Structure 1
């Protein structure tokens, strides 16, 4: 569960952090509507960590896939250049 608390001063901010020490502070918002601290409970924190881990793995896989595509493209370009040089009599 998420808990969002507004504060108006640094003292109030510190008090909220102390009062809700059983929760996990995950975000602080300083926006035109006010200043807010957002806390989550243990279960929500664990869900967020799982989501973050999955996102990281997806990004890693995407990066490897991108590298692989670049490698394939480079190899294809080298083959095309080689074949072109063979056909035209150019030096490879």
Structure 2
């Protein structure tokens, strides 16, 4: 997200050294709707601190917003790292 405007930006913007952009983490639920690029981020629903437990996905929220499908039994997502239990 863009920390000066609190809006979501494209994932690759957070891969730069520009301190204006930062990764923002949400706890995933089946009913949570992620903001589209350019839409305000729900700050009360997440954190700038990377989760230390559970499964962590740092890519994959749709550019137009919406929900994110969870992986099925025996399927791993290529954008995940860490954790051993569901989030």
Q: TM-score range by the shorter chain?
A: under 0.3
TM-score by length of 1: 0.23
- The structure with the largest strand share of the pair is 1
- The structure with the largest helix share of the pair is 1
